[in-house]
């Protein structure tokens, strides 16, 4: 099929638009289908505080949250942009799950729009391939799950795509106005996620050096360096103002010192290597890519590289050029540049190129491969990750499972516990939740009714004078909670500590961990049964 035909090009453009509209619907539908989970809760609370107080602080007037990530002034040290986006969502749509998630979902939709423009930049004469790649991204269950989170995910991908789009626009037009625009986007990426923003800028720098370094003039090198230095200076000033750079509490490890170690007692090198293996494995076992497609793409690129590196043989210049093979216009290099930009969704371009290659061989086979890779995780077989809760491989029809999930209520432990407290606890009762992750998200739902207490001790990293000024029941040595919430149970130490003064008055039949989080290794696509765990509610006995 000749995709340069105007009618064919129009057909694929309209088909791409249809895919985009369906993806936009899936980004926005039923954003309140489940309660906010552990990582979304603190972001939402900070956004609510920002809206009400005009400041990013962990103290909302009743409860303190995010204590492991607060500085000496009790300000949150995480990047502030996601809080501002949440505040905007709350101001327009109300303080609930929809308000927390909708701005991020809208940015996810805008991300797909920029992605389409980026594909058109690199593949202007291949509308069918653009359609294939775009469809794999827009209908990726995992990407849609990330876009629907009240976190930094959608903005991170949006900034990266937009940065590369502005970069290419500069090289097409040589208009210097695109450079400060790109610098602003890079700064937004940094203030959305420190590590993600730094990785975005470094990936663009590496991409530029590899593909356009020789074509860059001294003046352009100076402009690029000036823009990069400006972003670094602004970011460094903000981190120094927070106290993350310089001072007695430099670095994030100090703020997260109370968190559990990630992987036992491994050495730093072994831990790094283990993490890299885990991350690489998940690239293949989720839906970003598949082993067969990766091996095929690696082989194609290797053949292209070895073919282009061979010295040309001297031939009779008068001899006519041999006819080109049918796949001479196969855009492996252009697609490889897209993949080299360095974002997980861009790895899906490998699948699109593979389907294009098969399609050229046989249309029916290409359609079959498209459906298999798009609607199922068969490309990961037999290396599918096992769900950490069920022990079963994550093989399945992820897109259809995702669609089913967001069109029905999703019962979760956070909503079950918050509803219980709102119905049974008295106003200003003290509630102790041992897990900071569960507690911080519960503040969003029940913090106006109860007060969360007893999670600081004498070894806290927070300044004691600042904490004392809050006049809040935060120290476990000084306060006695009315309620204790045990997600999945309580440790033996806590049972011994509270056994004589508390009684279990309820056991909520709900799985204690939020399985609707976006990582497919954790995501069950449907609520799990409580089994032997559930959530235990303890109440203080009348003395």
Kindly state whether residue 418 falls inside one of the protein's structural domains. Answer: yes
Give 176-194 pLDDT, tens digit per residue.
999 999 999 999 999 999 9
Kindly state whether residue 140 falls inside one of the protein's structural domains. Answer: no
Kindly state whether residue 453 falls inside one of the protein's structural domains. Answer: yes
- 3-state class of 506 per DSSP? strand
Q: 434-462 b/e with 16+ CB inside 10 Å = b? A: bbbbbbbbbbbbbbebbbbbbbbeeeebb
Give 76-131 pLDDT, tens digit per residue.
889 999 999 999 999 999 999 999 999 999 999 999 999 999 999 999 999 999 99
Distance, in Å, from the CA atom of 286 to the CA atom of 123, rounded to the nearest integer, reads: 26
Structure tokens at 194: 């420190």
* Lowest-confidence segment of 187-196, 213-222, 340-349, 380-389 by average pLDDT: 380-389
SS3 sequence, 120-174?
Answer: HHHCCCCHHHHHHHHHHHHCCHHHHHHHCCCCCHHHHHHHHHHHHHHHHHHHHHC
Supply the pLDDT for residue 527: 87
User: Which has the closest alpha carbon to 183: 224, 217, 238?
Assistant: 224
Is 505 a residue whose pLDDT tops 60? yes
Domain carrying residue 166: 154-242
Kindly state whether residue 303 falls inside one of the protein's structural domains. Answer: no
- Residues with Cβ within 8 Å of 381's Cβ and at least 6 positions away in sequence, in order, are 395
Give 309-360 pLDDT, tens digit per residue.
555 454 444 455 555 455 668 898 899 999 988 788 888 999 999 999 999 9
Whether this model's pTM surpasses 0.85: yes
Region 68-72: mean pLDDT is: 84
Kindly state whether residue 359 falls inside one of the protein's structural domains. Answer: no
Kindly state whether residue 324 falls inside one of the protein's structural domains. Answer: no
Final residue belonging to a domain, choices 201, 227, 242: 242
Residues 455/472, Cβ–Cβ less than 8 Å = no
Supply the pLDDT for residue 304: 76
| Beta-carbon count within 10 A of 475 CB | 17
- 3-state class of 76 per DSSP? strand
Band of pLDDT at residue 392, cut at 50, 70 and 90: confident
Final residue belonging to a domain, choices 191, 223, 242: 242
Final residue belonging to a domain, choices 198, 222, 242: 242
Distance, in Å, from the CA atom of 443 to the CA atom of 460, rounded to the nearest integer, reads: 20
Residues 176/223, Cβ–Cβ less than 8 Å = yes
Kindly state whether residue 233 falls inside one of the protein's structural domains. Answer: yes
Distance, in Å, from the CA atom of 1 to the CA atom of 3, rounded to the nearest integer, reads: 6
Supply the pLDDT for residue 161: 96
Distance, in Å, from the CA atom of 104 to the CA atom of 195, rounded to the nearest integer, reads: 19
Structure tokens at 125: 């004469």
Supply the pLDDT for residue 140: 94
Kindly state whether residue 371 falls inside one of the protein's structural domains. Answer: no
Beta bridge partners of 486: 536
Is 258 a residue whose pLDDT tops 60? no
The alpha helices in 425-473, defined as continuous H runs, are 436-446, 464-470
* Structural domain count of the chain: 2
């Amino acid at each position: 099929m000749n995709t340069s035909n105007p009618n064919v090009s129009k057909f694929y453009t309209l088909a791409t638009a249809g895919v985009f509209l369906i993806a936009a619907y899936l980004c926005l539908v039923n954003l309140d289908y489940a309660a906010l989970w552990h990582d979304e809760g603190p972001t939402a609370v900070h956004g609510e505080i920002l809206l009400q107080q005009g400041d990013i602080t962990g103290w909302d007037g009743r409860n303190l949250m995010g204590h492991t990530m607060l500085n000496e002034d009790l300000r949150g040290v995480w990047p502030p942009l996601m809080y501002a986006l949440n505040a905007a969502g709350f101001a327009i749509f109300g303080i609930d799950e929809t308000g927390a998630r909708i701005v991020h979902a809208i940015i996810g939709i805008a991300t797909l729009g920029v992605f389409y423009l980026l594909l058109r930049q690199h593949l202007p004469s291949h509308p069918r391939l653009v359609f294939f790649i775009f469809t794999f991204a827009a209908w990726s269950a995992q990407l849609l799950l990330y876009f629907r989170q009240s976190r930094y995910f959608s903005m991170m991908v949006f900034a990266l795509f937009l940065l590369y789009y502005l970069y290419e626009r500069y090289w097409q037009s040589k208009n210097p106005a695109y450079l400060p625009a790109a610098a602003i986007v890079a700064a937004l990426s940094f203030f959305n996620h420190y590590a993600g923003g730094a990785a975005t800028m470094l990936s663009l720098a590496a991409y530029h050096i590899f593909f356009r370094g020789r074509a860059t003039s001294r003046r352009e090198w100076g402009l690029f360096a000036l823009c990069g230095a400006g972003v670094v200076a602004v970011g460094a000033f903000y981190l120094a103002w927070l106290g993350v750079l310089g001072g007695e509490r430099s670095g994030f490890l100090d703020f997260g010192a109370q968190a559990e170690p990630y992987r036992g007692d491994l050495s730093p090198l072994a831990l790094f290597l283990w993490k890299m293996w885990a991350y690489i494995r998940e690239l293949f076992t989720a839906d970003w890519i598949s082993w067969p497609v990766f091996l095929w793409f690696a082989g194609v690129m290797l053949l292209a590289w070895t073919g282009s590196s061979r010295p040309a043989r001297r031939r009779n210049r008068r001899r006519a050029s041999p006819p080109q093979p049918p796949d001479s216009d196969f855009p492996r290099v252009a697609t490889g540049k897209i993949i080299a930009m360095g974002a997980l969704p861009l790895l899906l371009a490998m699948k699109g190129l593979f389907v294009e290659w098969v399609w050229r061989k046989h249309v029916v086979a290409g359609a079959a491969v498209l459906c298999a890779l798009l609607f199922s995780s068969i490309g990961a077989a037999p290396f599918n990750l096992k769900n950490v809760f069920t022990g079963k491989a994550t093989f399945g029809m992820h897109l259809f499972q995702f669609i089913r999930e967001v069109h029905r209520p999703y019962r979760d432990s956070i909503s079950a516990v918050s509803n219980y407290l709102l119905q049974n606890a008295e106003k200003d009762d003290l509630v102790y939740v041992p897990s900071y992750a569960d507690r911080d998200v519960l503040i969003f739902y029940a913090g106006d009714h109860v007060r969360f207490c007893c999670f600081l001790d004498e070894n806290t990293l927070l300044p004691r004078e600042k904490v004392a000024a809050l006049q809040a029941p935060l120290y476990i040595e000084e306060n006695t909670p009315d309620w204790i919430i045990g997600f999945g149970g309580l440790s033996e130490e806590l049972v011994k500590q509270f056994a004589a003064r508390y009684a279990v008055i309820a056991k909520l039949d709900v799985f204690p961990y939020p399985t609707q989080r976006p990582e497919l290794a954790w995501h069950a696509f449907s609520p799990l049964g409580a089994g032997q765990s559930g959530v235990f509610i303890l109440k203080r006995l009348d003395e």
